[in-house]
């Protein structure tokens, strides 16, 4: 089965030839794996046979980031979703943590003008689509 057939089969309640596989990789892990033998000309997703291509945008509430405290060991701030975060500086990079969330119920938040964020340009979107066509699992 192709990746598309496998995922479609599962979504339709069928039994595929194997369980579809997907993972996400931290940048610091990818950097280390490159030194351990992961080829530089291939993504970990492609190398390990992940089923899905990642195509996305900034789905945050796009609130301004407010720094509250920063030391060599941690960084406390309000993030773009209004959450209070405490990210820890570890040997492998920054590890995220959340202290409190601004949204505490299922209220619906939307942009009344249905605008697209300025950082999502047509050029960037087209580039992502081209990469999906070139390296993605779906044709």
Q: What is the pLDDT of residues 64-117, one digit of tens each?
A: 899 999 999 999 999 988 889 999 998 777 888 999 887 766 554 444 444 555
Instruction: Provide Rg for the chain, Cα atoms.
Output: 19
Q: In the beta sheet, which residues pair with residue 84?
A: 78, 100
What's the mean pLDDT in 52-57? 74
Pairwise pLDDT comparison (26 vs 47), residue with the higher score: 47
Q: Which of 97, 87, 93 is nearest to 26 (CA)?
A: 93
Whether the model clears a pTM of 0.85, i.e. scores above it, the answer is no
pLDDT of 105-138, one tens digit each?
A: 655 444 444 455 555 566 666 666 666 666 654 4
**How many angstroms separate the CA atoms of 65 and 115, rounded?**
20
């Amino acid at each position: 089965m192709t990746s598309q057939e496998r995922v479609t089969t599962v979504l339709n309640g069928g039994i595929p030839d194997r369980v579809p596989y997907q993972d996400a990789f931290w940048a610091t892990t990818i950097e280390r794996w490159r030194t351990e033998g992961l080829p530089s000309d291939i993504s970990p997703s492609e190398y390990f046979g992940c089923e899905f291509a990642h195509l996305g945008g900034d789905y945050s509430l796009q609130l301004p980031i407010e720094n509250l405290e920063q030391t060599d060991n941690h960084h406390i701030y309000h993030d773009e979703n209004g959450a209070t975060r405490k990210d820890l500086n570890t040997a492998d990079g920054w590890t995220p943590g959340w202290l409190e969330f601004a949204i505490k119920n299922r209220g619906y938040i939307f942009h009344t003008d249905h605008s697209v964020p300025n950082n999502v340009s047509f050029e960037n979107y087209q580039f992502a689509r081209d990469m999906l066509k070139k390296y993605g699992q779906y044709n």
